[in-house]
Amino acid sequence: MAAITLMKTPAETALVQAFEAAKATLPGDVESRAQAFETFNRNGLPHRRVEEFKYTDLRALVREAAPFAAKPSLDEAKRALLDAKSFAGVDAVRIPFVNGHLVDSAIAFDGLPEGIDVVPLASALASGHEWLSRLSPVDWASKNPVYQLNSAFMADGVMIRVVGEVTTPIHLQFVTSSTTPVATATRVLVVVEPEASVTLVESHESTNGAAHQPNDVVELIAADGAHVRHVRLNAEGDQAIALSTFAVKLGAEASLNTINVAVGSSVFRHQVFGVFSGENTTAQINGASMLKDRQHGDTTLIIEHAAPHCESRELFKTVIDGEATGVFQGKIIVPPHAQKTDGRMMSAALLLSEGGAMNNKPELEIFADDVQCAHGATCGQLDDDLLFYLMARGLPKPEAESLLVQAFLGEAIEFVENDSLREALIASVEAWLRARG
């Protein structure tokens, strides 16, 4: 049979045109951008025939490609940051982005706490900064079409280096304020040097509900003995199509505790790619997604235990209301030499309404014979007995439901050690439940 050439959708055509128009003005090496764009040019947006996107057909979901946002004026950026609410009460070093561009005037580069170095990505790309060689530490991400699009279009971002024990959290604050839909592509690289420790906070929000299209990548290299806590909140506007990637490479004796909490966007796909490259490292990778109306929320995860004696725990909770669709795809890979690996992955989904749907695909790929790996997936509605118990004690049904949903999501959120961060996340769960009514 003849090979089938697919027609490009309007969104795909627009992206090709956008790349042609922008590649000369984007900072850094054009060649590597063109390389990253090549696969997209050939295959277009990933669709349901591509196994990893089976449940999230981006070709169908992304109907139009929004234009890439221009750098906002300082006034505009300041106004946007005043309106930003996420983690406002948390004491942190803030690194703000408005419309996908770093607001460098808002950062006191000289006054940063000891142990933190921040380099704006746009200028680093333009000048060929030495840290650039550390970008793209995880191969699984580099092969991913969403990541490749980010590599082609990334306009701004930061590179952060952490040395020693840093107690103040670093808050990467992404705000989109444009009143018309815009696309953004940011890249953040965080290098946590040996024995250092840090708490990273990411918030993604919009000051309006426009159909923005962010594609954000955060890359983390945790060197030997490094300890990283990471909290990510997706509070994008109701119309947003949010693509995001968290790629992490862990050294020996390191630890990672990360959570992604999603309450926003009309469509989101959050990808986590983790590689254990040194022994005796532990990772707790959590997620809590709240979906309503016709939202589509996808969490895709690949964890490669490339070194022996590592432990990973993955716990993902999804609450589905209205006619929303939840997706969880997780894969634990254990190569032949990674003996004594201990990996446990769990995905639990709660369907609150008749129209909701959940697709779970927890995979294991194991080549070593002395390992402990398990995966679990559950899907169901609220337990009638539990509801009855609470209602019998005088709680009205909506309250009883809310309490149970909170408890369900709480299991994933309670791993956040920092009190103010955990409380902020719980508050966002409560706000979601209140809005549900």
Partner 1 sequence: MPAVQETIDQVRLIDVDQYKYGFETEVEMEKSPKGLSEDVIRFISAKKGEPEWMLQWRLDAYKRWQTMQEPNWARVSYDKIDYNEIYYYAAPKNNPAPKSLDEVDPEILRTYEKLGIPLREQEILAGVEPERRVAVDAVFDSVSVATTFKEELKKAGVIFMPISEAIREYPDLVKQYLGTVVPVTDNFFATLNSAVFTDGSFVYVPPGVRCPMELSTYFRINEKNTGQFERTLIIADKGSYVSYLEGCTAPKRDENQLHAAVVELIALDDAEIKYSTVQNWYPGDAQGKGGIYNFVTKRGDCRGKNSVITWTQVETGSAITWKYPSCILRGDNSRGEFYSIAVSNGMQQVDSGTKMIHLGKNTTSRIISKGIAAGRSENTYRGLVSAHRKATGARNFTNCDSLLIGNECGAHTVPYIESKNATAVFEHEATTSKISEDQMFYCQQRGLSDEEATALIVNGFVKDVLQQLPMEFAVEAQKLISISLEGSVG
Q: Does 103 bind partner 1 (CB under 8 A)?
A: no
Q: Does 363 bind partner 1 (CB under 8 A)?
A: yes
Instruction: Out of 22, 107, 112, 377, point to the residue binding partner 1 (CB under 8 A).
Output: 377
Closest CB to partner 1 among residues 16, 379? 379
Q: Does 372 bind partner 1 (CB under 8 A)?
A: yes
Q: Does 114 bind partner 1 (CB under 8 A)?
A: no
Instruction: Out of 379, 390, 403, 426, point to the residue binding partner 1 (CB under 8 A).
Output: 379
**Among positive and negative, which fits the CA dihedral 204, 412, 251, 335?**
negative
Closest CB to partner 1 among residues 53, 68? 53
Print the binding letters for residues 320-359 with partner 1: x by CB under 8 A, - otherwise. Answer: ----------------xx-x----x---xx-xxxx-xxxx
Task: Return the range that interacts with partner 1 (CB under 8 A); candidates 12-20, 68-76, 174-182, 360-368.
Answer: 360-368
Q: Does 385 bind partner 1 (CB under 8 A)?
A: no
CB 187 to partner 1: min, Å: 32
Instruction: Give which of 310, 321, 267 is closest to 285, Cα–Cα.
Output: 310
CB 384 to partner 1: min, Å: 10
Q: Does 293 bind partner 1 (CB under 8 A)?
A: no
Closest CB to partner 1 among residues 262, 348? 348
CB 290 to partner 1: min, Å: 16
Using CB under 8 A, which residues numbered 25 to 64 contact partner 1? 51
CB 12 to partner 1: min, Å: 24
What the block records as the tokens of 260 is 């992604």
Instruction: Give which of 336, 322, 332 is closest to 368, Cα–Cα.
Output: 336
Closest CB to partner 1 among residues 91, 363? 363
CB 331 to partner 1: min, Å: 9
Buried b (16+ CB within 10 A) or exposed e, 191-224: bbbeebbbbbbbbbbbbbebbbbbbbbbbbbbbb
Distance (Å, rounded) from C-alpha 114 to C-alpha 117?
Answer: 8
Q: Does 398 bind partner 1 (CB under 8 A)?
A: no
Task: Return the range that interacts with partner 1 (CB under 8 A); candidates 85-93, 151-159, 284-292, 368-376.
Answer: 368-376
Distance (Å, rounded) from C-alpha 338 to C-alpha 335?
Answer: 6
**Number of residues lying near partner 1 (CB under 8 A):** 38
Closest CB to partner 1 among residues 309, 361? 361
CB 378 to partner 1: min, Å: 5
Residues binding partner 1 (CB under 8 A): 1, 51, 336-337, 339, 344, 348-349, 351-354, 356-381
